[in-house]
Copies of this chain bind each other. A is one copy, B any other.
Amino acid sequence: MTRSSRPGNKSAESVVTLKFLAEYLNLSPATVSLVINKSPSAKSIPDKTKARVLRAAEKFDYRPNFYARHLSKKRTFTIGVVVPEISEGYAALVMSGIEDRLLQDGYFYFVVSHRGRQDLIEEYPRMLMDRAVEGLILVNTPLHRVITVPTVAVSPHGHLKGVTAITLDNHKGGWLALEHLAKLGHKRIAFFKGQPGSADTESRWLGVCEAAAKFGIEIRPELTVQLQGKSRHPEPSTPEEGFLHAAKLLETGERFTALLAFNDMSAIGAIRAFCDAGYNIPQHISVVGFDDVQTAAYQNPRLTTVRQPLRRMGEAAALSLLERIANADVRPREILVTPELIVRESTSAPATDEPGSPTVLASREALAEK
C-alpha cells in the first residue's frame, strides 16, 4: 500500500546505501563513510582510494540517508516555526526573512499555524520537538510553557525565561504615530487598540499615551475601540474588522479628525468605511496605520503608517537562533528593532475647527446626507 511495502522500487530514494557502495568498491562501510564525510580520521587513506570512493558515489548518485545519519550524529538541521496564520502578511514576511538565513546555513524548517487556538499553541511545539527540531521560532504567539530547545520569539507575548526576543520598539512606534498627528494639529483622535494581553499592544499604547500627554491630546474612551476584543487570542487581522469598527465609530456621532489604527489592515478597512460614508481622506479624516504592508503604498490614498521591518526581524530571529544552537553559551537576549514613520497621503492637517466648517461630525445625518 505505502511505498515502503513495494520493495522492487528501484528508482526510489536511497536504493544505493553506504553498504552497497562499500561492496561495490571492495571496501568497508567505515572507510566509505570516512571518505565521504571528509572525516579527519580519513587522513591515512590515500588520495587514490578517496578518489575512487568519490567517483563511485557520484556514479551511483549516492545520497546518505538523512535519518540514519541523525540517529548517530544527533543533528537534524531542522527548526520549527510557529505562526498564528500563514496567509497573513505579517507572518509571511517574517517567515520570508527567516527562510533566507536558514536555508543559507543548510537548515530546513517546519511551519505550523495555530490560528490562535490555545490547544494547538501548546500541542505544536511538542510535536515539533518530537521531530527533533534543534530550535523554535515563535512568531507573535502566546506560548507560556517552557521550551527545552533554544527558542526565539518575534514579537513575544509576555516574557519567557530563556527565550530570545525580537521586539519592535512599539513604544516608539506608538509615539511616532501620535506625534505625527499631533504636529499636524489634530486634537480629537480616534484609536484602534490591539488585542489585550500582548506586549506589543501594551507598549505601543503606552507610547501613544505618553505622546498624547506630551502634546496635550486627550484620549477619549468613546473614541477608543479595542480590536479583536472577543477572543482571547488573535485572529488574523482583516480589513473587515477595521471596516466594522470604523462604521460603528461613525454611528456614535462623536467628532474626530483622525484615526490612529493598530495596523494597516484595520486602517485600510476603516478608510473604506469612511469613504463609503462620504468622507474624504485625509481632508475630513486623517488615518495612520501600522506595519507598512505591501499594499500600503498603493492604497488610495497612499497610507501613512509606521513601518515594521518584518523581514529583517525574521532574519534576526533566524540568525540569533542559529547562534544559540551553535553555541549553547550564548545568552538569550532582547533585540529591539526600530520602527519608522512613513508619511504618505492619508494624513494631513485637520480642517479648521470652526463653526460652519466642514469638520467631521459623524452622525446619522452625515450618513444620510450621502
Contact = CB atoms under 8 A, between A and B. Distances in A.
A238 interface: yes
Given A243-B298, A299-B299, A300-B300, A74 B4 contact: yes
A99 interface: yes
A299 B243 CA distance: 12
A113 interface: yes
Interface in A300-331: 300-302, 311, 325-328
B108 A109 contact: no
Contacts of A6: 328
Contacts of A92: 86-89, 92
Interface stretch (A125-133, A153-161, A225-233): A125-133
Contact of A76 (B1, B67, B85, B129): B67
B326 A1 contact: yes
Contacts of A297: 239
Interface residues of A, number: 68
B130 A295 contact: no
Contacts of A328: 1-3, 6
Interface string A1-26: 11110100001111000000000000
A343 interface: no
Interface stretch (A49-57, A250-258, A266-274, A355-363): A266-274
B2 A325 contact: yes
A207 B11 CA distance: 40
A110 interface: yes
Interface of A: 1-4, 6, 11-14, 63-68, 70-71, 73-76, 85-89, 92-93, 95-96, 99, 103, 108-113, 127, 129-132, 134, 148-149, 238-239, 243, 265, 268-269, 271-272, 275, 294-295, 297-302, 311, 325-328
